[in-house]
Structures are given as C-alpha cells and as structure tokens.
C-alpha cells in the first residue's frame, strides 16, 4: 500500500477509544485480559528475550546496550498514559521528553501522572494526530514508538518526519505488534490457537469480564467489525518493518512472540493464577510451544523490539 492509498481513518472514534484505554480502570484490567500484562508472561517470557533478569524490561535493555550517557531530548509517538517517559526519566535515559498522542484523555492522564511523579517540568505532552505530524529537523536524540506504530496509517510520512527530526546517529526504537494487518490471522495461526483452546479445561477459558461464559473459538473479525471498534487497529502492521528498512538502518530486531499467546489468552489470561503451580506450568508449556514454533519457523513472531538508526 503506497502513501496515496492510505485508508481514511475516523479520527474521532480513535481519539475516544484510546482516551478510554488510558484510564486507570482500563489499565488495571489489562493484567487479567491481555497476554502481555500477565506477570508471568511479562517477566519470564517477554523480558527473558532481552535480559536474564525477569524484572528488567525492553526499555532497560535498550538503555544498557545503546545509551552510554544521558541524552538531551527524547520523542515519544503515541505516549498513552506516559509510562514510557516516566520509566525512561527514572533511568536517566534522557533529560527531557516531548510526547504526543491523538487522544486528549490519554494526554490528560499522562500530565496528571507526570505531576504526581515530579517530572512534569521534564515532559511536554501534546495532543497531535501523528499521521499529520510535522517535526523540527535535527531536534531529537532518540525516538520511541511503543505499541503505537501499528496504529499509524501514514507510515511513510511519519518515518520521513522521524528521520528528519533525529540527530545524526539517533535511534528510533519500536516495541511493536508487526503481525497481520487488521488482525486478519493466518489459517495456520488460527488452527493452532483453536486446537490449544480446545485442550484447555473450562476453568481457564472463562471470560474474566463475563463470569460463567466460556471462550469457545477464535476467529478474525471482518474489516468492518475491526473498523467499528477501532479503525486504526493494526491498520498497516504488516508493513511496519519492511517500510522501516527503507528509511533507517535496522540495527537489531528481537522477536518476542505473541503469534499464539495474543489471541489464545485474550480475555482469559487472568485465570492463570501466579501463585498456583499447576496454572503456571500450563502457561509455561504454552509459552514454550509458541517459542519453539517460532524458532523452527513454523510461524513468524507477531511482536518485535526493533532498534533502528539514522545514518546518512
């Protein structure tokens, strides 16, 4: 898809959807409904890809490997509630940040949490439609897109703006979903997910938010159904990496799965009790299976950490 073929996005629907997603109540629910936020998966499956310390995440990995001294100014594209800036400043990765998001609700939460953390003077938050963004040249030392680039419809425009705005040698770091566009899962992927779902006892398949209801089957939503929920969701996700390679030098890519875990465990992952040995053993087996299938190239990884660099 070239830049002239970018789909039209209902911006107001996107703003409303992600404004709600940044609220405290929604964030608290994620550990029970989102695979990435389950404590075991986060610490012992995802973090393990980057470091031997389960408490150390991808941002700390980037800091340790690529940032030898505190940088002056960082950029965040799609900052949400501002968690990245708060963490990066606590690590002294940057002295200051400029952080943008399309959702007013998210920016309000980020500003409030920055005040509570005592870092509001170090972060400038602003509501911006990133698909229309214009950045100053040679302005930033590093740029981040954390689970936001798969919502960008105008990838070429954003990549060219980030490339222009980064100082020479600056890094563009993406922690992203890079799987099938608009969640149009492959047949092989769905078959594995549903086979595993059918193996799980019902106690693990009960919907967290709808007690008594059992998750029976996973299938792709139609494009119309996807657009009715969030028209920006994974809008060009399969193009993120190929296009990035045209604008930057990809220094490192670390895949961390999600091809099976994402939709298998969506809305039910909270049934796996971190304190229950049997629950964690089952979860560990599922993680091992996904990892093995990816290593053996049976399936690709749907999620990746990518470190790209601006080089002339």
Residue 222 belongs to a domain with what CATH number? 3.40.50.150
Q: Within a 13 Å sphere around the CA of 79, how many CA atoms are in the beta-carbon half? A: 33
Q: Which domain holds residue 255?
A: 3-309
Asked whether the beta carbons of 27 and 16 are under 8 A apart, the reply is no
Q: How confident is the model at residue 251 (pLDDT cuts 50, 70, 90)?
A: very high
What are the beta bridge partners of residue 253? 306
Query: What integer pLDDT is reported at residue 14 of this predicted model?
Result: 56
- Angstrom distance (rounded) from CA 194 to CA 217: 6
Q: Rounded mean pLDDT of 15-22?
A: 52
Q: How confident is the model at residue 30 (pLDDT cuts 50, 70, 90)?
A: confident
Quote the mean pLDDT of the chain: 92
Q: Rounded mean pLDDT of 214-231?
A: 94
Query: What integer pLDDT is reported at residue 10 of this predicted model?
Result: 58
Q: Is the pLDDT of residue 121 over 80?
A: yes
Structural domains of the chain, count: 1
Q: How confident is the model at residue 207 (pLDDT cuts 50, 70, 90)?
A: very high
Q: Which helix (H) or strand (E) holds 223?
A: helix 223-229
Q: Is the pLDDT of residue 170 over 90?
A: yes
- Per the rule left: phi > 0, alpha: psi between -120 and 50, beta: everything else, 13 is alpha
Q: Rounded mean pLDDT of 220-233?
A: 92
Q: Is 56 exposed, middle or buried (0-12, 13-18, 19+ CB in 10 A)?
A: middle
Give the three-class secondary structure for 176: strand
């Amino acid at each position: 898809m070239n830049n002239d073929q970018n789909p039209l996005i209902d911006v107001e629907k996107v703003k409303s959807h992600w404004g709600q997603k940044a609220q405290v109540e929604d964030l608290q629910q994620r550990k029970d409904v989102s695979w990435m936020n389950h404590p075991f998966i986060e610490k012992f499956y995802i973090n393990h890809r980057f470091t031997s310390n389960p408490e150390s995440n991808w941002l700390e990995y980037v800091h340790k490997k690529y940032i030898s001294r505190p940088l002056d100014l960082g950029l965040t594209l799609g900052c949400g509630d501002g968690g990245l800036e708060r963490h990066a400043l606590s690590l002294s990765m940057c002295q200051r940040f400029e952080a943008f998001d399309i959702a007013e609700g998210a920016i309000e939460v980020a500003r409030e949490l920055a005040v509570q953390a005592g870092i509001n003077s170090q972060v400038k938050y602003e509501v911006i439609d990133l698909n229309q963004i214009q950045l100053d040249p040679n302005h930033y030392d590093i740029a981040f897109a954390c689970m936001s680039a798969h919502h960008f419809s105008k990838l070429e425009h954003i990549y060219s703006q980030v490339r222009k705005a980064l100082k020479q040698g600056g890094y563009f770091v993406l922690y992203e979903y890079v799987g099938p566009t608009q969640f149009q899962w492959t047949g092989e992927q769905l078959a594995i997910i549903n086979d595993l779902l059918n193996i799980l006892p019902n106690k693990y398949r009960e919907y967290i938010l709808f007690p008594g209801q059992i998750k029976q089957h996973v299938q792709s939503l139609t494009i119309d159904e996807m657009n009715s929920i969030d028209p920006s969701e994974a809008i060009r996700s399969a193009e993120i990496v190929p296009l990035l390679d045209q604008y930057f030098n990809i220094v490192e890519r670390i895949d961390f799965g999600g091809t099976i875990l994402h939709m298998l465990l969506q809305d039910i992952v909270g049934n796996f009790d971190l304190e229950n040995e049997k629950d964690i053993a089952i979860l560990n087996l599922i993680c091992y299976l996904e990892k093995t299938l990816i290593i053996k190239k049976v399936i690709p990884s749907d999620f990746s950490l990518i470190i790209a660099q601006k080089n002339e």
